Amino acid sequence: MSQNNLFSVEQASDVQRIFLVEDSPVIRDSLIDVLDNAEDGRQVVGTAETENDAVERIADSDPDVAIIDINLREGSGIGVLERLSDLDTAPPVRIVYTNHYSRRVHEYCERLGATHVLPKNGDIRELLGVLMSEH
């Protein structure tokens, strides 16, 4: 899908609305290229690079899914998870997608409200499979 459709105001009820919290431009752009796909029923509705921007923009965009990196330029994905639990409009699906995957990180993120915790160094099809199962 082209960048022209990214963040479009129009939304269909059958489209899975995804918000991406990632501070690496290379990883963020790669994920947008894979995730923003109308044919598969997915739309990236926003991105953020910092904890504060993520919480603010998620509250404003009302996504179905938040994909959250743990290490951010300012703040952390852990902070995003903690603050989302205070939002009435928090996305029901919260996926932590991290390079720092371990069982301990997995369990901690789940306690903070993550519905899934996935390693970035895994196969992207695992992330896509989770999105498909939650759609």
pLDDT of the chain, 135 residues: tens digit per residue:
444 445 444 445 589 999 999 999 999 999 999 999 988 899 999 999 999 999 999 999 999 999 999 999 999 999 999 999 888 878 999 999 999 899 999 999 999 999 999 999 888 999 999 999 998
Distance CA 127, CA 60 (A): 24
Query: How far is Cα 91 from Cα 131, in angstroms, rounded to an integer?
Result: 13
Homologous superfamily (CATH) for 3-134: Response regulator (3.40.50.2300)
Tell me the pTM: 0.88
